[in-house]
Amino acid sequence: MCGLWINRDVEQNAQVADLEALCRARYRHFLRVATLITSDHGNAHDAVQEAFAATIKSLPSFRGEGPLEAWVWRAVVNAAKKQQRQSSPAGLEGDDGPSASSHNGDMAETRLVRTWVASLPERQRLTVYLRYYADLDYQEIATALDVAVGTVSATLSAAHRRLRKTIEEVPQ
Amino acid sequence: MIDVEPLIRTELESLMPLPEGSGRDWADVLARSGRRQRRSRRLLVALAVGVCILAITSAAIAAGLGAFSGHMTIADVKACKASTTALTTASGARVLTGHTDAGVYCLTYENASGGGGSTAHEFPTPAGEVIPMRTQGVIVGLVPAGYDTLTLGSVQIPIVNQAFVVDPKLVVGPGTLSGPAGQITINLSELAAGP
């Protein structure tokens, strides 16, 4: 009994160490996506830290289904969406997408991509964020958004189609 | 078909570069999770467990080495299996000798009315090649094999089955153990001077 308790404790400490390494290595990536979701840097910090804290608290129930990072991403996305809902009840649909450094020297491509992101429905936009800002593979995105891998693939394809259409509509 | 991925990667990166983070972030996470406090609590629990282990170990060592001058630990008393009656005095008191579970010599004295005491030790003790104990107004001792007489001043006390019983008043200085094993000096003065 005692041995089992110690083993579980050691295992959880190892997972906390993994989380710490992940936090130190990828904090800015989590923060970037959280900022995009919440549209507020302070709220994004809160969301990321709350997400890591919640993950630590729920480690006893983590059974290793999927990578730990994807699990954290799910917590970050949920925490950021919660923050966003609290500060702007309209939801993510009202989000204009990334625009932090796009005002000076806006190129045509930049404007086009920004418009494209802003036009995406919430799920497609989150999928795009996780794919291109977080560099997650389809399986990790599926875990993070709690959807099937096929859904991730279809969602990204739809987002790409929309961008292609936007590009084609731009006058030469 | 246009491959839009390179365009997306490049433009998204320029739209939203990585923000600044700080080394404080993980500390803040720990504070939010309450992990640091739990670590401290666990440290205290670990410390308490360590103290307990130390106490138990110390008791075991004390039991192993025995206590000098009849001051027994509970472990000594429980461990002493003095099953052999070494000698019986004229007043009916018995001296029993044996070993503890740890292989340490132990000595028990029982007077006719049931009073007495025990001790456990290894040779030598501060008194020399004797395991002495003061109890019930007498000094009882266990000596190595090969000695049959204890000489205190001009008085000779017989050693029976490696054990002797002597009146503390007879101890006026160092004594001598003698027998086939030769002669060695022991010193019961400190014990005799005690209460």
Domain match, B34 and B100 both: no
Domain final residue pick, B35, B65, B95: B65
If you write DSSP's letter for every residue of chain B in order, what string do you get? Answer: ----HHHHHHHHHHHSPPPP--THHHHHHHHHHTHHHHHHHHHHHHHHHHHHHHHHHHHHHHHHH--GGG---HHHHHH-EEEEEEEE-TTS-EEEEEE-TTS-EEEEEE-TTS-EEEEEE-S-BTTBS-EEEEETTEEEEE--TT--EEEETTEEEE-BTTEEEE-GGG--S-EEEEETTEEEEE--HHHHH--
Query: Given its phi and psi angles, is residue B70 left (phi above 0), alpha (psi -120 to 50 degrees) or beta?
Result: left
Domain match, B160 and B177 both: yes
Q: Cβ(B105)–Cβ(B113) under 8 Å? A: no
pLDDT at B107: 81
Comparing CB atoms, the residue among A50, A100, A163 nearest residue B16 is A100
pLDDT at B71: 44
Give ∠ CA B5-A157-A97 in degrees, rounded to 5.
65
Range of the domain at B120: 67-193
Q: How many Cβ pairs within 8 Å bridge chains A and B?
A: 93
Provide, as residue numbers in chain B, all residues whose Cβ is less than 8 Å from the Cβ of A41: 19
Domain match, B141 and B155 both: yes
Sequence-distant (6+) residues with CB within 8 A of A89 are none
Domain match, B75 and B39 both: no
B138 belongs to a structural domain: yes
Dihedral pair phi/psi, residue B143, rounded to 5°: -120, 165
Give pLDDT tens digits along chain B (195 positions). Answer: 678 888 888 888 888 888 877 667 788 888 888 765 455 556 666 676 776 577 666 655 555 544 444 444 445 545 566 667 888 888 888 888 887 666 677 788 888 887 888 877 778 888 998 989 888 888 999 888 889 999 998 889 999 888 999 999 899 889 999 998 889 999 999 888 876
Q: Are B25 and A16 inside 8 Å of each other by CB? A: no
B146 belongs to a structural domain: yes
Domain match, B80 and B39 both: no
Domain A2-169 superfamily per CATH: PhyR, sigma-like (SL) domain (1.20.140.160)
Domain match, B56 and B77 both: no
Chain B residue with Cα closest to A99: B15
Two tokens, residue A109: 């491509």
Closest CA relative to residue A163, chosen from B18, B11, B14: B11
How many other CB atoms are there within 10 angstroms of residue A20's CB atom? 15
pLDDT at B18: 86
Chain B residue with Cα closest to A20: B26
What whole-number distance in Å separates Cα of residue B16 and Cα of residue A99?
Answer: 7
Closest CA relative to residue A32, chosen from A48, A54, A20: A48
In this predicted model, what pLDDT tens digit does every residue of A76-114 receive, in sequence order? 999 999 998 888 655 454 456 665 454 444 577 888 888
How many domains, in total, are found in chain B? Answer: 2
Domain match, B50 and B84 both: no
B182 touches chain A (CB under 8 A): no
Where do the structural domains in chain A lie, given as residue ranges?
2-169
Low-confidence ranges of chain A (pLDDT < 50): 1-6, 91, 93-94, 100, 102-105
pLDDT at B1: 65
Provide, as residue numbers in chain B, all residues whose Cβ is less than 8 Å from the Cβ of A79: none
Domain match, B42 and B133 both: no
pLDDT at A32: 93
B24 touches chain A (CB under 8 A): no
pLDDT at B101: 62
Query: Rounded to two decimals, what is the model's pTM?
Result: 0.52
pLDDT at A60: 77
What whole-number distance in Å separates Cα of residue A52 and Cα of residue A64?
Answer: 16
Domain match, B34 and B96 both: no
What whole-number distance in Å separates Cα of residue A38 and Cα of residue A172?
Answer: 35
Domain match, B102 and B152 both: yes
Q: Are B16 and A24 inside 8 Å of each other by CB? A: no
Comparing CB atoms, the residue among A16, A50, A101 nearest residue B35 is A16
Domain match, B54 and B92 both: no
Q: Are A110 and B14 inside 8 Å of each other by CB? A: yes
CA distance A85 to chain B (A): 21
B137 belongs to a structural domain: yes
Chain B residue with Cα closest to A116: B8
Q: Cβ(A35)–Cβ(A87) under 8 Å? A: no
Q: Are A164 and B32 inside 8 Å of each other by CB? A: no
Q: Percent of chain A having pLDDT more than 90?
A: 48
What whole-number distance in Å separates Cα of residue B18 and Cα of residue B22?
Answer: 13
Closest CA relative to residue B138, chosen from B75, B94, B105, B178: B94
Is ipTM strictly over 0.90?
A: no
Chain A residue with Cα closest to B46: A6
What whole-number distance in Å separates Cα of residue A88 and Cα of residue A93?
Answer: 11
Closest CA relative to residue B105, chosen from B140, B55, B58, B136: B140
